[in-house]
Amino acid sequence: ADGRFEIRIANNGFDAGMMVKEYRPDIIVLDVMLPDINGKEVCQRVRMDSALDGTQIICISGMVEADKIADLKESGANDFIQKPFEIETLVDRMCKLLDVEPVGARS
């Protein structure tokens, strides 16, 4: 994005699980429709790992059923963004969850 974030990309849930254990990210942006595992299960696994207690999770998806979004949040997601979305929306939500000042913000 703007150089303030170090980004790692995983193409499936297995790779993401390995990366999360190695890098212990501050935030995970999770497409809930992964080829090998669903987003709800990823959220639950992250929340069960005490080493990831401070990790924030933003789920993204084209599905917007209120009950499914509620399930994701009950499973540990901190936020949900509907696809398609503007990259600025994602960066703003990340900044809010990480308590980081958005670019262009004035005190």
Between 43 and 101, the higher pLDDT residue: 43
The answer to the question of residue 106 being in a domain is no
91 domain residue, yes or no: yes
Structural domain boundaries, residue 73: 13-97
Q: Which two tokens stand for residue 25?
A: 């990210």
Query: Please, which pLDDT band fits residue 104 given cuts at 50, 70 and 90?
Result: low
The identity of residue 49, as a single letter, is D
Q: Strands 27-31, 79-82: parallel, antiparallel or unpaired by DSSP?
A: unpaired
Tens digit of each residue's pLDDT (9 = 90 or more) over 31-69? 998 888 889 999 999 999 999 999 999 999 998 899 999
Query: What is the number of structural domains in the chain?
Result: 1
In a domain, 47, yes or no: yes
The reply to whether 44 falls in a domain is yes
User: Model-level pTM?
Assistant: 0.90
Domain CATH code at residue 34: 3.40.50.2300
Closest alpha carbon to 34 in 72, 66, 91, 6: 72
